[in-house]
Structure 1
Amino acid sequence: MAELLTTPLHRLHLDMGAKMVPFAGYDMPVQYPLGVRKEHLHCREHAGLFDVSHMGQIRLHGADAAKALEALVPVDVLDLPQGKQRYAVFTNEQGGILDDLMIANLGDHLFLVVNAACKAQDIQHLRDNLKGDVSVEVIEDRALLALQGPKAAQVLATFNPKVNDMVFMDIQPVEIDGIHCVVSRSGYTGEDGFEVSVPAEHAESLAKALLAYDEVEWIGLGARDSLRLECGLCLYGHDLDTTTTPVEATLIWAISKVRRADGERAGGFPGEAKILDQIATKAVSRKRIGLVGQSKAPVREGSKLFDADDNEIGVVTSGTFGPTKGMPVAMGYLPPEFIAPGTEVYAEVRGKKLPMTVEKMPFVPQRYYRG
């Protein structure tokens, strides 16, 4: 087996008693002594600190950067205002999703954050397919911290009150604790919060400065997963993959109107024919849906879904017990005739068929700060 990579905060995780597991080629903390459930609830009620330094940070330079990137994603990059970021997906020629990512306009360059598991292939995809005056710079010397929860802004503002003026999806250079950082008001928990790109050599000191607040606790991958699932957020490689289109994944909102069939810059991205046809006709064989369990038993990824007549109709792609929701939550794919909220289906768990109900996502309200 290849040796696991580590983030700049690896030693601190060990010092804090983290339980470490392999994740996307990295040795990552899955939980701390507090435990997954308490970490989850602490983030919902106060503020949680996440090490997401395993994710890929990339800069695109050059006069053609926005135009070139727009040829790879169904998102409006050309008109992305400076100081703003957008969620996007890389698509393939069949309309499937290669990865999901964040794209930000920092004025003199575009800043991208991609998933750890897809980092190498995304970088190669960019290098192979970006046309014109554009260069790809892979950022190797920065860590990435996420501070999430209702107390996140209160804590971060003690270092620089400037962050109080930011709203959801804003991004800008901000000095935090005397360190030059790039801060976005965004995250992966459904809560208000920030992601902070920080020079690797200052990551540990910044993490310790944030953890000095009673409101802040380390949060591991276990609670990160339950937090994002409760808020209906997809995980690439589970809820999204190369065989799934954005329309099937109910991510039409991530396809900018200007890139749709009636937009002035319609199409021009891989898989446009299939994706635009699915938008126009609404003809898909399956859609991503939310499910809640009627028992206490969590329903895990890979569980098959059945109708009342015992016909196999779909599959669970993410599932766990939702500590805030107080019941099992899952997402998966079902044919269109089964996606109406209130529809009852059955998940197969250890040979038993457990009843689940289709429910509109998010299961827990998202609390992004929009001003």
Structure 2
Amino acid sequence: MTAATSSDSDLRSTPLFALHQKLGARMVPFAGYSMPVQYPQGLMAEHLHTRKAAGLFDVSHMGQLLLRGPDAAAALESLMPVDVIGLGLHKQRYGLLLNEQGGILDDLMFVNRGDDLFLIVNGACKQADIAHIQAHIGQRCEVIPLPDRALLALQGPKAASVLERLIPGVNTLVFMTGNHFSWQAQDFYITRSGYTGEDGFEISLPGDAAQAFAEALLAQPEVAPVGLGARNSLRLEAGLCLYGNDIDTTTTPVEGALNWAIQKVRRSDGEREGGFPGASIVLEQLQNPEQLKRKRVGLIALERIPVREPAVLENMDGQHIGHITSGLLSPTLNQPVALAYVEPDYATAGTEIFAMVRGKPVPMKVVATPFVPTNYFRG
């Protein structure tokens, strides 16, 4: 998901556009598409429903593509500080496309499907991502965009029992794995993953099957449609980055507290060290974190005053020490939470700082993320 938007004149529609209108969604421009921000029940109800039952999200604006050929894994690994070669069959991993300065061009998910690598990239970045991948590794593997595929996400503690009813066998998946399935003779690829912190699935399917399948899901009593508004509040509670807000081309993985996404094999003492754009900068930051000028942290407000981006952060002496990149009132906690970048001296859990909201300092405390415990199904 990404924060970028487009003007109304050039908006595209997903295969579920008519269904969103039928369901009474409020549509907004998002990543070049007309997308549902919320439905009549409202953001708060959609958010809480996902936490207790199952929410259905249309994420067909995301980019889907395949990399195919015997050199595909090594080729993709040359673009990211991530172990691609060692990824097991039908295993999924989070990845980061970097520029030569170590800045993040996009974050993505990829799966080793055996015959190919299946990638899901952010909607607003997908054309640039495909061009970047094609330009850098198009001579080493086939790069195959999948514009005719839709993407749905079913998220929440009841997602597995619902989806198992329609697609028997899907419950055998565990977090960050996927496989091929079929529904009414249509080819689906389903991963047990998502962007909410809950158990759930992302379902890649033919665009012309999307409405019928979405309606079959919505016919289940546990399922309600959920828009971009609640998708954003759910991911923030889970401490997950929004591309364009919390990470972008000016932030490195280490500044963004994404060290966990760089496997040991790609680090300075690993057997496949470096070899990706910006490697010298990123590896230096990993080895010498004291040299960082800023770091991403989680914050909780100590007063019930919502703190939103791009609020300035100050220390006890009123000195500027950072800024908010994502913030809102957590529906689950009923407390304001935020992601922010601060100077490293203020990044330790428990540190108290102030966010400036309409000229008033709001006390905030640095905390570990996720703000709400995750419920991923690991088997």
TM-score by length of 1: 0.98
Is residue 281 from structure 1 mapped to residue 261 from structure 2 by the alignment?
A: no
2:311 to 296, 303, 307: 303
1:114 partner letter: V
Q: Which residue of 2 aligns with 1:74?
A: 81
Q: Which moved more, 1:196-205 or 1:296-305?
A: 296-305
Q: Which residue of 2 aligns with 1:294?
A: 302
**Structure-2 change in CA distance of 1:13 and 1:311 (3 Å):** same
Match of 1:104, SS state, is: strand
Please say if residues 68 and 132 of structure 1, whose CA atoms lie closer than 8 Å, have aligned partners that are also in contact: no
2:29 partner letter: P
Q: Which moved more, 1:238-247 or 1:125-134?
A: 125-134
Is residue 369 from structure 1 mapped to residue 374 from structure 2 by the alignment?
A: no
Please say if residues 159 and 177 of structure 1, whose CA atoms lie closer than 8 Å, have aligned partners that are also in contact: no
Please say if residues 49 and 147 of structure 1, whose CA atoms lie closer than 8 Å, have aligned partners that are also in contact: yes
Q: Which residue of 2 aligns with 1:338?
A: 346
Match of 2:93, SS state, is: strand
Match of 1:275, SS state, is: helix
Q: Distance in 2 between matches of 1:296 and 1:205?
A: 43
Q: Distance in 1 between matches of 2:42 and 2:70?
A: 48
Q: CA deviation at 1:137?
A: 0.7
Q: Deviation per CA, 1:54-92: give whole Å up to 9, x if none.
A: 000001111111111110001111111111110000011
Q: Distance in 2 between matches of 1:353 and 1:4?
A: 39
Q: Distance in 2 between matches of 1:193 and 1:131?
A: 33
Q: Which residue of 1 aligns with 2:33?
A: 26
Q: Distance in 2 between matches of 1:180 and 1:135?
A: 21
Is residue 97 from structure 1 mapped to residue 77 from structure 2 by the alignment?
A: no
Is residue 84 from structure 1 mapped to residue 76 from structure 2 by the alignment?
A: no
Q: List alignment gaps of at least 5 residues for structure 2.
A: 1-6
Q: Deviation per CA, 1:285-314: give whole Å up to 9, x if none.
A: 111100111222211111000011100100
Q: CA deviation at 1:178?
A: 4.5
1:130 to 137, 146, 159: 137
Match of 1:60, SS state, is: strand
Superposition map of 1:166-185 within 5 A:
166-176=173-183, 178-185=185-192
Q: List alignment gaps of at least 5 residues for structure 1.
A: none
2:302 partner letter: Q
Q: CA deviation at 1:255?
A: 0.6
Q: Deviation per CA, 1:38-62: give whole Å up to 9, x if none.
A: 1000000000000000000001111
Q: Deviation per CA, 1:327-350: give whole Å up to 9, x if none.
A: 011000011111111111111111
Q: Which residue of 1 aligns with 2:3?
A: none
Q: Which residue of 2 aligns with 1:209?
A: 216
1:139 to 133, 136, 146: 146
Q: Which residue of 2 aligns with 1:312?
A: 320
Q: CA deviation at 1:265?
A: 0.6
2:202 partner letter: E
Is residue 228 from structure 1 mapped to residue 251 from structure 2 by the alignment?
A: no
Q: Which moved more, 1:334-343 or 1:124-133?
A: 124-133
Aligned positions, number: 371
Q: Distance in 2 between matches of 1:183 and 1:102?
A: 13
Q: Distance in 1 between matches of 2:228 and 2:148?
A: 23
Q: Which residue of 2 aligns with 1:3?
A: 10
**Structure 1 runs of 4+ off > 4 angstroms?**
none
Superposition map of 1:40-55 within 5 A:
40-55=47-62
2:74 partner letter: K
Please say if residues 149 and 193 of structure 1, whose CA atoms lie closer than 8 Å, have aligned partners that are also in contact: yes
Q: CA deviation at 1:106?
A: 0.9
TM-score by length of 2: 0.96
Match of 2:166, SS state, is: coil
Match of 1:22, SS state, is: strand
Q: Distance in 2 between matches of 1:338 and 1:366?
A: 26
Q: Distance in 1 between matches of 2:38 and 2:358?
A: 26
Q: CA deviation at 1:243?
A: 1.0
Q: Distance in 2 between matches of 1:217 and 1:131?
A: 41
Q: Distance in 2 between matches of 1:117 and 1:104?
A: 21
2:355 to 342, 347, 356: 347
Q: Deviation per CA, 1:124-144: give whole Å up to 9, x if none.
A: 100110054301111011100
1:50 partner letter: F
Q: CA deviation at 1:230?
A: 0.3
Q: Distance in 1 between matches of 2:100 and 2:246?
A: 19
Q: Distance in 1 between matches of 2:156 and 2:252?
A: 31
Q: Which residue of 2 aligns with 1:324?
A: 332
Match of 2:83, SS state, is: coil
Q: Distance in 2 between matches of 1:278 and 1:272?
A: 10
Q: Distance in 2 between matches of 1:330 and 1:133?
A: 41
1:215 partner letter: E
